[in-house]
Homo-oligomer: A and B are copies of this chain.
Amino acid sequence: KCELRCNLLPAKNGEEPTIQFLLEMVDILTNYVKKTFDRSTKVLDFHHPHQLLEGMEGFNLELSDQPESLEQILVDCRDTLKYGVRTGHPRFFNQLSSGLDIIGLAGEWLTSTANTNMFTYEIAPVFVLMEQLTLKKMREMIGWPDGEGDGLFSPGGAISNMYSVMIARYKYFPEVKTKGMSAAPRLVLFTSEHSHYSIKKAGAALGFGSENVILLSTDERGRVIPADLEAKIIDAKQKGYVPLFVNATAGSTVYGAFDPINEIADICEKYNLWLHVDYIKTYIKLCRANSVTWNPHKMMGVPLQCSAILVREKGIMAGCNSMCAGYLFQPDKQYDVTYDTGDKAIQCGRHVDIFKFWLMWKAKGTIGFEQHIDKCLDLSQYLYNKIKNREGYEMVFDGVPQHTNVCFWYIPPSLRGMPDGDERREKLHRVAPKIKAMMMESGTTMVGYQPQGNKVNFFRMVVSNPAATQSDIDFLIDEIERMGNDL
């Protein structure tokens, strides 16, 4: 059984079988890519966990002591794709990360072929420089003078947000690094009740405690109310706690809301707090932020994972995180070791997330990203206009969306005449999950839903997929009505 596999490189004369194997794999992958963009294929072929675990038509997930043949490996790869979800399909709207950018894909193939690690210039010279230049460009775009500052790509927005909290703590209470949280007073973080849960997770992980992450009230559009922030800061101070950090969201997860950053910045200045902005790429300037999380793997359509933490103050990341491990970051190398990035990260090995993004930027230019985002905003506007007065729809909040999020209830005919009250609420709460389940079973489209506060389950449509068109929006609405009509 080993025969074929053992012919691959580094085996002697392994070139030909290796290239042949890789090309067979590429054939599988390019077929998948073609089908992904083909509206006549399904978004997914849904199976329950127990069905896949039992083994579908010879697709056996179990690992064994003995090797499989290369033919079987290729079959396994086909099956893996077959039973997965086509996140690049024009009708996949389930998450903000959607779409399959061909340049980004090619970039990721190169990245895995180069298979290196961002921790030193020594083994990733080109990627380290690309990261540095790209971070500078991003800092320029958010309006920091000359793009000065610090930053890193990290494995996702939650970790980027965690960095921001760590760095804020280090800025105000540097002794916590060596002495722990007992060296600081009781510190309090503030974030919107609509913000991403990662701020709360960071508070729990880093030793603040989730109760010391104070949730801020929002207006009907999901934007933080600045007066509430100020009142809660004053309240915390009166209790003897020390307000440290405010997270403002520019494009919230569910509503796509933009917190009023300038007013929040005024308050942060007044009370000397760190201002972090969790940022969806748009066109706003964030000059007053101390740190920013920017996830190119969301609105910009870069393949997963691609998230950056940007920090206004240069050098503070190394101050916060360095442990000066001599076996990795030797000071006596022949090149300028300030290019080594490892000691300012909480990771040791760090995946190369920059290249696909850099390559997409080269291929599209800044204007290409802007066009893409404009197109997504137009599409969500189209959806909004289509359903805002349509029979059977209720918008979760009034007015045009601030971003690509459109939040709405579909009201089946059976509920349309029903007066508001517990019964209607309970029934309506079950509508979106039922429609979603039918969508997944039929595999025609996918869209997210969730409750929020006292609002029962509603659909949250987000557009970031460059393959989506108005006809796909129309299709989604048709599907919702077809599936929901008899509920």
Q: Complex formed: what's the CA distance from A176 to B19 in Å? A: 54
Q: Does A258 reach chain B (CB closer than 8 Å)?
A: no
Assess whether B26 is in contact with A14, with CB atoms less than 8 Å apart.
no
Name A346's contact: one of B25, B201, B448 (CB within 8 Å).
B201
Min CB distance A128 to B, Å, is 8
- Chain A residues 282 to 323 lying within 8 A of chain B, measured CB to CB, are 297, 303-305, 307, 321, 323
Min CB distance A344 to B, Å, is 11
- Chain A residues 71 to 126 lying within 8 A of chain B, measured CB to CB, are 72-73, 76-77, 79-81, 83-85, 87-88, 90, 94-95, 97, 100, 102-103, 105-117, 121-126
Q: Does A205 reach chain B (CB closer than 8 Å)?
A: yes
Given contact pairs A63-B366, A73-B362, A126 touches B201 in the complex (Cβ within 8 A): no
Give the residues in chain B near A334, CB-CB below 8 Å: 433, 436-437, 440-441
Select from chain B the residue with minimum beta-carbon distance to A352: B304
Q: Complex formed: what's the CA distance from A99 to B409 in Å? A: 53
Min CB distance A167 to B, Å, is 11
- Chain A residues 13 to 28 lying within 8 A of chain B, measured CB to CB, are 14-15, 18-19, 21-23, 25-26, 28
Q: Complex formed: what's the CA distance from A395 to B358 in Å? A: 44
Interface centre among A95, A181, A204 (most CB of B within 10 A): A204
Chain A interface residue count, CB cutoff 8 Å, equals 167
Q: Does A134 reach chain B (CB closer than 8 Å)?
A: yes
Name A209's contact: one of B125, B158, B176, B358 (CB within 8 Å).
B176
Given contact pairs A33-B113, A90-B10, A197 touches B303 in the complex (Cβ within 8 A): no
Assess whether B437 is in contact with A362, with CB atoms less than 8 Å apart.
no
Min CB distance A366 to B, Å, is 4
- Chain A residues 310 to 341 lying within 8 A of chain B, measured CB to CB, are 321, 323, 325-328, 330, 332-336, 339
Q: Does A257 reach chain B (CB closer than 8 Å)?
A: no
